[in-house]
Amino acid sequence: MPQPRELLRQIPAVDELLRRPGLAPLWSEIGPAAARRVIAAELDALRRAPSPAAVAALEPRLVEAARRYRQASLRPVINATGVVLHTNLGRAPLGAPAAARLAAVAANYTNLEFDLATGRRGRRDRHLEPLLAALTGAERTLVVNNNAAALVLALNTLVLENAGEVLVSRGELVEIGETFRIADIVTRGGATLVEVGATNRTRLADYRAALSPRTRLILRVHRSNFTQEGFVEQPPLAELAALAREAGIPLLEDLGSGCLSPQPGMEGEPTVAASLRAGVDLVTYSGDKLLGGPQAGLMSGRAALLDRLRANPLYRALRLDRLRLAALEATLDAYGREAWDEIPVLAMLAGEGLEARVRAFATQIPAWLRAEAVPGESVAGGGARPGQRLRGLVIALAPDGVSAGELQARLRRAAPPIIARVGRDRCLLDLRTVFPGQEAELLAALERARRE
Ligand SMILES: *Cc1c(COP(=O)(O)O)cnc(C)c1O
C-alpha cells in the first residue's frame, strides 16, 4: 500500500489534466474557465479521501463531472405519475403550436409594445384582449406573473391604497401553496381582513352585517384546491354581486384554476365567463392550471377597475414577459378555434383512448418487470378539481429482484428522467400524462433499468 503522502504525489496537476489528449476535447466543449473549476473540485475531493482506486479512477470521474456540468439543471422529464397539473413538474405542458410561437418570439424582436399601424408606442396587454373578450365576455383583461401576483395587485390597488377592509368568508380563508395564505396577502399591506360567517356556512346576511363605511371589497375564493361537504352553505355569486353593487364596492373572485370552457374531465367547473355574467367585477385565475397555458395570472373584468390596476406601479414589477405572452396567445387561439387537441392538459383530463394505449403498451414491457394493467386513478393536481378522481388503467410493475422503490429511483436517473409513483409495493406508470410520442423512450428506459 502506498503511503498517503506518496498517493498525494501521484495526483496530477490541473494544467497536466487540461492538456491530456483524452480529456482535451471535453475541456474545449465547456471552455477553459469551467474546465479549471471542474478539475479543481474533483482534485479537492480526491485529496480529502485519497486511495489508489480513486487516483486510478480520476479520468472517468472527470469525464462524468464534465458531463454533469454540461447537463442543464432544468430539463424535460417524462411525467408518469398521472397528476396532470403537477406543480413540482411545472404544471401545464404547452401544446406544440404554443411552444412554436414561443420559440419564434424568443429569437426575434417583436411588436410587444409597438403599434404597427401608427408606428407609436403600444401596450403589451392589448395583444390578448380580442381573444379574451371573446372567450370570457370581459371588457378588459390584464396579465401578470401568476394568479398569486394577480391577487396581490388587485388587493393592493383596490384595498390597501386606502387601508380599508376586505370581507372574506371563513370558509374561504385558504392556503394556496406553501405558506401563501389569503389572510396574509390581505393583511400584509395594512388592510383589515373581516372574517364573515362560519367555516362551513356563510349567508348573504353575514356579508351584509359585516359591511362598514371602510369596506372596500368583497373577496370570494373558489374552492379550487379543497372541498367542503355536509352542512355547508354559501350565497350564490349573483346575490353576492348584487350586495356589492348595492354597497358600491367591487366583488373580486379568485377563481384559481380558471376554466375557460369545461371540457370532458372537468364537468361542473365554474367558468370565467359564468362568473362575469353573474356580476363579479373582477376575476383572477391561473394560466397554467385548467387553462393549459404558460404560468400567468389573468385578471378579467370591468375596464374601469383594470385601468386602476394597470396604473399601479406594482403592475410593472409583476407583468408578463413576451415569451409567455406568445405562448398564452397561442393557447387562447386554440380555444378560439376549439382545437382542444392542441391543449395537452385538456386532452389528458379527457383521457380519450387511454385504455387501449395502456393495454398495448403493457404487452411491450420486458418480462422481468411483470407488468399488469390495473384499474387506477389519476388526478388533476396543481390545486385544481380536488376530490375528483379520473378513473382509468395504470401499469403496475412488480420487478424481479429489485424493490418497486429501487425501480422508481432508477427511472428517475434515466435520460430523460421518468417520474413514477409507488403504491402497494408496485411501481405505477400512468400513461395519462405521458405523451404518445414519449412511449418509445419510456420503453427503452424500462429495458435499461435492469442493468443499472
Ligand atoms: C392556484 C391558486 C392560486 C395561485 O395561483 P398561482 O398561479 O399558482 O399563483 C390562487 N388562488 C387559488 C384559489 C388557487 O387555486
Question: What pLDDT sits at residue 380?
Answer: 87
Q: Whose CA is nearest to atom 5 of ligand 1?
A: 147
Question: What pLDDT sits at residue 186?
Answer: 82
Q: Is 258 in the pocket of ligand 1 (CB under 6 A)?
A: no
Q: Is 252 in the pocket of ligand 1 (CB under 6 A)?
A: no
Q: Are 409 and 428 contacting, i.e. CB atoms less than 8 angstroms apart?
A: no
Cβ neighbours around 298 below 10 Å, total: 29
What is the CA(385)–ligand 1 centre distance, in A?
A: 12
Q: Whose CA is nearest to atom 15 of ligand 1?
A: 256
Chain centroid, CA 25 distance in Å: 38
Do 105 and 228 lie in one domain? The reply is yes
Q: Per residue, what are the HEC states of 7-23?
A: HHHHCCCHHHHHHCCCC
Do 196 and 218 lie in one domain? The reply is yes
Q: What's the number of CA atoms in the CB half-sphere (13 Å) around residue 192?
A: 13
DSSP state of 210: H
CATH number (domain holding residue 362): 3.90.1150.180
Do 241 and 308 lie in one domain? The reply is yes
Q: Is 157 in the pocket of ligand 1 (CB under 6 A)?
A: no
Q: Is 271 in the pocket of ligand 1 (CB under 6 A)?
A: no
Which of 292, 314, 342 is at the close of a domain? 342
Q: Whose CA is nearest to atom 13 of ligand 1?
A: 256
Q: Whose CA is nearest to atom 14 of ligand 1?
A: 256
Do 356 and 261 lie in one domain? The reply is no
Question: What pLDDT sits at residue 162?
Answer: 61
DSSP state of 91: S
Within 8 A by CB and 6+ apart from 187, the residues are: 193
Average pLDDT of the segment spanning 357-377: 96
Cell numbers linked to 44: 479537492
Examine the pLDDT at 39 and tell me if it is beyond 60: yes
Q: Whose CA is nearest to atom 10 of ligand 1?
A: 256
Percent of the chain's residues with pLDDT above 90: 79
Which of 342, 368, 384 is at the close of a domain? 342
CATH number (domain holding residue 137): 3.40.640.10
Do 260 and 354 lie in one domain? The reply is no
Q: What are phi and psi of 201, to 5 degrees?
A: -135, 125
Average pLDDT of the segment spanning 215-232: 88
Do 301 and 320 lie in one domain? The reply is yes
Shortest-distance atom of ligand 1 to CA 150: 9
What is the CA(92)–ligand 1 centre distance, in A?
A: 14
C-alpha to C-alpha distance for 333 and 336, rounded to whole angstroms: 5
Q: Is 222 in the pocket of ligand 1 (CB under 6 A)?
A: yes
Q: Alpha carbon of 447 to those of 67, 76, 82, 399: distances in Å?
A: 23, 20, 21, 12
What is the CA(66)–ligand 1 centre distance, in A?
A: 39
In the chain, the amino acid numbered 151 is L
Question: What pLDDT sits at residue 7?
Answer: 87
Confidence of residue 1 (pLDDT cuts 50, 70, 90): low
Question: What pLDDT sits at residue 139?
Answer: 97
Percent of the chain's residues with pLDDT above 70: 98
Which of 317, 342, 367 is at the close of a domain? 342
Do 123 and 234 lie in one domain? The reply is yes
Cβ neighbours around 333 below 10 Å, total: 16
Q: Whose CA is nearest to atom 6 of ligand 1?
A: 147
Examine the pLDDT at 6 and tell me if it is beyond 90: no
Average pLDDT of every residue of the chain: 93
Q: Is 286 in the pocket of ligand 1 (CB under 6 A)?
A: yes
Q: Can you name the residues that pair with 166 across neighbouring β-strands?
A: 193, 217
Choose the residue to mutate in 168, 176, 178, 275 for probing ligand 1, maximizing ligand atoms within 8 Å of C-beta: 176
Do 153 and 109 lie in one domain? The reply is yes
* Domain count of the fold of the chain: 3
What is the CA(284)–ligand 1 centre distance, in A?
A: 9
What is the CA(147)–ligand 1 centre distance, in A?
A: 5
Q: Is 146 in the pocket of ligand 1 (CB under 6 A)?
A: yes
Report pLDDT digits (tens) over 255-302: 998 899 989 888 889 999 999 999 999 999 999 999 999 999 999 999
| Structural domain span for residue 212 | 96-342
Do 223 and 107 lie in one domain? The reply is yes
Q: Is 253 in the pocket of ligand 1 (CB under 6 A)?
A: no
Do 194 and 273 lie in one domain? The reply is yes
What is the CA(87)–ligand 1 centre distance, in A?
A: 11
What is the four-CA torsion angle of 172, 177, 181, 184, rounded to 10 degrees?
Answer: -160
Question: What pLDDT sits at residue 161?
Answer: 57
Choose the residue to mutate in 85, 153, 184, 286 for probing ligand 1, maximizing ligand atoms within 8 Å of C-beta: 286
Q: Is 297 in the pocket of ligand 1 (CB under 6 A)?
A: yes
Report pLDDT digits (tens) over 160-203: 656 789 999 999 998 877 778 888 888 876 788 999 999 999 99
Report pLDDT digits (tens) over 191-209: 889 999 999 999 999 999 9
Examine the pLDDT at 314 and tell me if it is beyond 70: yes
Q: Is 383 in the pocket of ligand 1 (CB under 6 A)?
A: yes
Do 301 and 225 lie in one domain? The reply is yes
Choose the residue to mutate in 91, 147, 186, 280 for probing ligand 1, maximizing ligand atoms within 8 Å of C-beta: 147
Shortest-distance atom of ligand 1 to CA 149: 9
Do 422 and 286 lie in one domain? The reply is no
